[in-house]
Amino acid sequence: MLEIHPETDLLLVVDVQNDFCEGGRLAVPGGSEIVATVGRLMDAFPHVVLTQDWHPPGHLSFASSHPGRQPFEQIEVAYGPQTLWPDHCVQDTAGAAFHPGLDTAKADLVLRKGADPALDSYSAFVENDRRTPTGLTGYLREKGVERVFLAGLAFDYCVAWSAEDARREGFAAVVIEDACRAIDLAGSAAAARDRLSAAGVRLIRAAALV
């Protein structure tokens, strides 16, 4: 078992939203299967932050904003390559709401990301231009957090980018792999696992904690 340090450990629950679950606009296979495990983890951690993908209509990451383009194609934008997605997590829609099984009352903070119409944000720490901070690093530092445990959707995008950035920002990072599900676009899940190992991110199973 892994011991949770109440003062310095934090659980970051990434994008457990209806659009990433079955029936949603960008459904991650098995997405809703993690909700029960995430709930047990949220009970075990005294400090929890939730992220919420939160795009305005017409967001640059939507294929529908680029005539002739299809979801899952990659294009070049001002800050580099950007994968195009189906419209998803549009602000104030049911798809952007948290999965109804998630007990959001337990969260200390809900961090919204991806709200700039011309900039996507997979990571909870730094947006996809790799320069614009979300403010999470400052929040965690002020709170004395040293180690971030991650769960949520999708393993190979927002969870992996957040875990890598947590390391970059000087935190220890641990991904609870069975509390995540992957989109797995062209081998992206295996590639993410390799990148995480290279970055010093530990991969564990929920049974090691709860």
Q: What are the two backbone dihedrals, phi and then psi, of residue 191, each rounded to the nearest 5 degrees? A: -65, -40
The residue among 41, 54, 53 whose CA lies nearest residue 15 is 53
Q: Is residue 125 part of the contact set for ligand VGL (CB under 6 A)?
A: no
Q: Judge whether 15 counts as a catalytic residue.
A: yes
Q: Judge whether 113 counts as a catalytic residue.
A: yes
Place of tokens 């800050």: 79
Q: Is residue 53 part of the contact set for Zn ion (CB under 5 A)?
A: yes
**One character per residue 137-156, x = contact with ligand VGL (rule: CB under 6 A):** ----------------xx--
| Least spacing, CB of residue 132 vs ligand VGL, in Å | 16
42 binds, among Zn ion, ligand VGL, none (CB under 5 to 8 A by kind): none
How many residues touch ligand VGL under the rule CB under 6 A: the total is 9
The helix or strand, by DSSP H or E, that contains position 22, with its residue range, turns out to be none
Q: Is residue 15 part of the contact set for ligand VGL (CB under 6 A)?
A: yes
Exposed, middle or buried by CB within 10 Å (0-12, 13-18, 19+), for 162?
buried
Q: Judge whether 21 counts as a catalytic residue.
A: no
Are 181 and 175 spatial neighbours (Cβ–Cβ below 8 Å)?
A: no
Residues that bind ligand VGL (CB under 6 A): 15, 20, 53, 85, 122, 153-154, 157-158
